Structure 1
Amino acid sequence: MEITNKSQDLKLFGLPWDQGRWLLIPLGMSVLLCLGTVYAWSIFRKPLEADLNIGATESLLPYTIALVFFAVTMPVAGFYIPKIGTRKMTVIGGVIVGLGYILSSFAGNIFAMTLTYGAIAGTGVGITYGVPMAVVARWFPDKKGLAVGLTIIGFGLSPLITAPLGRNLIDGYGVRSTLLILGIGFTAIILASATVLKMPPKDWYFSEKSSAKPTSKTAEIYPANMLRTRSFYALWICYTIGTFVGLSAIGISSPVGQEIIKIDPVLAASSVSLFALFNGTSRPLFGWLSDRFPPKLVAIFSYVLILIGCILMLNAGEGQVASYLIAFCLFWFCLGGWLAIAPTATLRFFNPDNYAENYGIVFTAYGVGALLGTLIAGRIRDWFGSYTYAFYPMAFLAILGIIIATFFLKPDRVISE
């Protein structure tokens, strides 16, 4: 791998670039750790239900709206990262996230809470989410999958850290003060990280002969033309399937354990922590795999795991705790995997200089998967009286994903002008 003279002289945190760049990963993880607290919304629900005198359905509204705004604003923000810059974008997103939490501490009803936490904080999450990934992707052209996978651990494992912290704060200071404390803390952490989250100079890293530079014609496609490629649609559909199954599983993890397996509600709730661990640790693993193998092989591997999980649950019954735990560990594992596969495949298929814009477009698949996954699993339970029937469409989609990945998830060789 041939390095340019410009790269040899480049310093980061006072260290040679190839050493200093590793410090960007924990910084990015800390930002995503703050953002991932959105997944720990359950700790606020019961206290808010009592404080605002609302039911369980209403208390879910801020979380649902937060996910929607996250999924909508992240693709839009991707187009402004190159224009505004990573530091300013991180500052803007961090301030909006913190403002959403702080204003939520003063919300007097569920509609105000939905606006402050759901719309405002969710928008801040969407604006900030792509920045650490874009930064490490540019600094690690030779290990992009591993670097992105390690960085987004922060988002996946956030509930394991922020949920206990939030519960302790709620017990000590109350739910409103907790929202205020978290808002101030998140703003401070994100703004501090913003000062050092910067892109490397353009074309800094390798000479023209470097094997790490994109070589396929598809890699030269800019966002305006990306929608004309077969590889984009294959990646988008595969990503939608992965997030649909994963987010469906997240939404029904505890109810399935209680209704089908008949396990204790406390065990069903605590098992979610185990699932979250698999969700977080799968990201660097799948990122590492995506660096070493074609994306289609990694995608097929994830779908095979999903299919195994579906078969286990379709044959599970009362008392089969092991089948339940293994299946849902696989579902959560693969969801985390797709959050590493998709950005790495985007880097491999398309021009990495336009990664923020490209992945913003690809990320719309997450929004579609989240919306459909959270709605359809509950509907199936209402229609058929059991969550068991939800695993049939999941298995079908896994098989469909294997077919699409096998034949279409690869760089386009010819570009229509």
Structure 2
Amino acid sequence: QSPSKALWRRDVSMNSRALDTLAGIVAIFGSVFIMFTLGHFYTVGNMSPYIMSYLRKNVQPHLKNSDAVWLSAGSLACQGIAMPLSGLLLLKIGFRIIIICSCMLTSFGLFLSYLSINAGFGSFIFTYAIMVGTGIGSSYGLLLSIGASWFPKHGGLVVGLLVSGFCAGAIILTPVQTALINPDNIPINYQTQMFEDDELLQRIPRAFLILGGILASMQLIGCLTVRPRPTNSIPPPDESSVNAEAKTVNSASSVALEMETSVSPRKLFKMLNLYIFWGVMLLTLIPFTLVSSAMKIVGQKTFPDDVFLSIVVTVSAAFNAASRVLWGPLGDSLSFKLPLCINNFFYCALLITFPFVSVVSAAGRYLYAIWMILMFICIGGNFVLLPFGVSRAFGQKYFAINYGIVFTAVVRVFM
């Protein structure tokens, strides 16, 4: 073949790779958009005082603040059940239907909460926790798998970006919730530890409609742009160019080596790493459930300032999201084992000392804020390093199912 034709073939190959990279960036952009909406889950701590106050005054007077734990517990339990099931369904019906149904469950769960909050605590748990939690679990693992499939050599960075998008939902939505419901920073009743202002309480159901509309519009954009990497995205070798062929073979071989470890769900239960990952997830989720659902309720007992506590929630979410971007490249360079061990050591120390920080006179509220931020940084580290570790240990092919099995630890928390 003539040199000009070989040069033309090489240019076509380079353009194909450039388009492939651009398609991957667009797909990750769409995944981040959907992850952002799923991150509404992290606003439970901000919403729980409003929700429990409304239910107690208008629907069920016997409810207690401690019942708020079921808002996150119910959602997490459904996430743990839905995640491995969605991985199995992926093999039968494809990702598109699962992602669309997941988004509909999430946004419609909020829309229906406008009605269910007046029907009773059980009905509200069904729409706000079970429906939304099932929606989150159905697509969370799939979105991580889709993102990592585009850039397998930078799996830690991609996972970090996606889970940062998950946390970013709370950064934006928490102040929006507070502005919609309590723009005047009305304090709680010190005796009942509840909000009792009628105008404030009447804004709560309407807030669900506005938030549901925000999520649905962003999910539409995400569903239109997200897609997995095509199996034929690596261009075929050029027989006329030895150099191009060598580069293509080397590139394909490196990807093949990364994908060589493909542990199927049936073989997974014979591997010790599964039970280590499962145990770390379990010990992460037990305190996370309490912290995420009651962080604002606990703070109000000592610092009755709704705006201050909303700022703490927002800043904690911001550090959570930012740290996840950093945890990803750290996993790429150091693997996941050492960072995971160090992270959980500090997480344990923070949990042990947390009950004592709020009682410190004068500086108590600031120490409370610092401890919350540090705990959410550690939580973010686990939610980056665990899926990254599952991908490295068991391969990318069955990642959605395998990570879903690890995430079933959340179900054990509530048994």
TM-score range with shorter-chain normalisation? 0.7 to 0.9
Q: Which residue of 1 aligns with 2:160?
A: 149
Q: 1:353 aligns with which of 385, 389, 397?
A: 397
CA–CA separation in structure 2 for the residues paired with 1:130 and 1:361: 11
Q: How does 1:330-349 map to 2 (within 5 A)?
A: 330-349=374-393
TM-score, L = length of structure 2: 0.76
Q: How does 1:178-193 map to 2 (within 5 A)?
A: 178-193=207-222
The amino acid of 2:101's aligned partner reads I
The alignment status of 1:32 with 2:39, answered yes or no, reads no
- Aligned-pair CA distance for 1:62: 4.3
Q: Which residue of 2 aligns with 1:52?
A: 59
Which shows bigger deviation, 51-60 or 156-165? Answer: 51-60
- Aligned-pair CA distance for 1:363: 1.5
Q: Which residue of 1 aligns with 2:84?
A: 75
The alignment status of 1:109 with 2:112, answered yes or no, reads no
CA–CA separation in structure 1 for the residues paired with 2:383 and 2:320: 10
Decide whether the 8 Å contact of 2:33 with 2:218 is kept in 1: yes
The alignment status of 1:299 with 2:340, answered yes or no, reads yes
The amino acid of 1:211's aligned partner reads S
CA–CA separation in structure 2 for the residues paired with 1:164 and 1:358: 35
Decide whether the 8 Å contact of 2:42 with 2:292 is kept in 1: no
CA–CA separation in structure 1 for the residues paired with 2:300 and 2:127: 33
Return the structure number with greater relative CO, CA threshold 8 A, min gap 6.
Answer: 2
Decide whether the 8 Å contact of 2:114 with 2:209 is kept in 1: yes
CA–CA separation in structure 2 for the residues paired with 1:277 and 1:146: 18
Q: How does 1:403-414 map to 2 (within 5 A)?
A: none
3-state secondary structure, aligned to 2:153? coil
Which shows bigger deviation, 172-181 or 79-88? Answer: 172-181
- Aligned-pair CA distance for 1:224: 1.1
Q: 1:124 aligns with which of 103, 125, 135?
A: 135
Decide whether the 8 Å contact of 1:243 with 1:338 is kept in 2: no
Decide whether the 8 Å contact of 2:71 with 2:293 is kept in 1: no
C-alpha spacing 1:270/1:236, structure 2 compared with 1 (3 Å)? same
Q: Deviations over 1:338-368 (max 9, x none)?
A: 1111111111111211111111112223444
- Aligned-pair CA distance for 1:100: 1.7
Question: Rg: which structure is higher?
Answer: 2
CA–CA separation in structure 2 for the residues paired with 1:272 and 1:297: 29
Aligned residues: 362
C-alpha spacing 1:109/1:187, structure 2 compared with 1 (3 Å)? same
Q: Which residue of 2 aligns with 1:177?
A: 206
CA–CA separation in structure 2 for the residues paired with 1:331 and 1:359: 23
- Aligned-pair CA distance for 1:282: 1.8
Q: Which residue of 2 aligns with 1:235?
A: 277
- Aligned-pair CA distance for 1:84: 1.9
Which shows bigger deviation, 122-131 or 350-359? Answer: 122-131
C-alpha spacing 1:112/1:256, structure 2 compared with 1 (3 Å)? closer
- Aligned-pair CA distance for 1:235: 1.8
Decide whether the 8 Å contact of 1:88 with 1:194 is kept in 2: no
CA–CA separation in structure 1 for the residues paired with 2:299 and 2:309: 6
CA–CA separation in structure 2 for the residues paired with 1:348 and 1:186: 32
Q: Deviations over 1:255-274 (max 9, x none)?
A: 66677xx6565545543333
The amino acid of 2:177's aligned partner reads G
Q: Deviations over 1:366-407 (max 9, x none)?
A: 4445x48xxxxxxxxxxxxxxxxxxxxxxxxxxxxxxxxxxx
CA–CA separation in structure 2 for the residues paired with 1:251 and 1:105: 20
CA–CA separation in structure 1 for the residues paired with 2:207 and 2:168: 20
Query: How large is the Cα RMSD of the aligned pairs?
Result: 3.3
Which consecutive unaligned segments of at least 5 residues does structure 2 have? 1-9, 184-201, 235-247
Decide whether the 8 Å contact of 2:29 with 2:226 is kept in 1: no
Which consecutive unaligned segments of at least 5 residues does structure 1 have? 373-417
CA–CA separation in structure 2 for the residues paired with 1:92 and 1:244: 28
Q: How does 1:369-388 map to 2 (within 5 A)?
A: 371=414
The amino acid of 2:404's aligned partner reads G
Decide whether the 8 Å contact of 1:62 with 1:113 is kept in 2: no
CA–CA separation in structure 2 for the residues paired with 1:284 and 1:79: 29
- Aligned-pair CA distance for 1:63: 4.3
Decide whether the 8 Å contact of 1:73 with 1:127 is kept in 2: yes
C-alpha spacing 1:305/1:64, structure 2 compared with 1 (3 Å)? closer
CA–CA separation in structure 1 for the residues paired with 2:206 and 2:309: 29
The amino acid of 2:138's aligned partner reads I
The amino acid of 1:24's aligned partner reads A
Q: Which residue of 1 aligns with 2:409?
A: 365
CA–CA separation in structure 2 for the residues paired with 1:211 and 1:354: 19
Q: Deviations over 1:313-332 (max 9, x none)?
A: 48755235465444332221
Q: Deviations over 1:248-294 (max 9, x none)?
A: 444564566677xx656554554333322222222121111111112
C-alpha spacing 1:192/1:315, structure 2 compared with 1 (3 Å)? closer
3-state secondary structure, aligned to 1:337? helix
Q: 1:199 aligns with which of 228, 245, 249?
A: 228
The amino acid of 1:142's aligned partner reads K
